[in-house]
Amino acid sequence: MTNFSARRSKSHRSDRTTAVWIILLAATIFTAALGFEDHSRTTTVGIALLAVAFFKVRLVIVYFMEVHTAPAWLQFATEAWIVIAFALLTGILLLTGQTQS
């Protein structure tokens, strides 16, 4: 790899990291704003908050823990964990009927 290619690759990674960080920041602000509203304990808001939280978890795992460069089995395992954990928590939330305050 030439020096120019190495610098360009490093710059690309830096740009991607910055973009992911901005997305995480925006998602955090969104969930904070949503959480401060009075939604009368609606399940829909709880599920939305869980969805955003697991979206953020996925971004951290894939980009900051660099699982996107890991072997396919590890990528699959982390994606499966995220989906299963989200499904289980969503199921619990739906079974209880409403969020707790």
pLDDT (tens digit per residue) in 63-98:
999 999 999 999 999 999 999 999 999 999 999 875
Q: What pLDDT does residue 45 have?
A: 84
How crowded is residue 63: how many other Cβ atoms within 10 Å of its Cβ? Answer: 18
pLDDT of residue 99: 44
Instruction: Please tell me the distance from the alpha carbon of residue 57 to that of residue 67, in angstroms, as a whole number.
Output: 12
Given this model, what pLDDT does residue 5 score? 52
What global pTM score does this model have?
0.76
> SS3 for 97?
coil
CA distance 87 to 81: 10
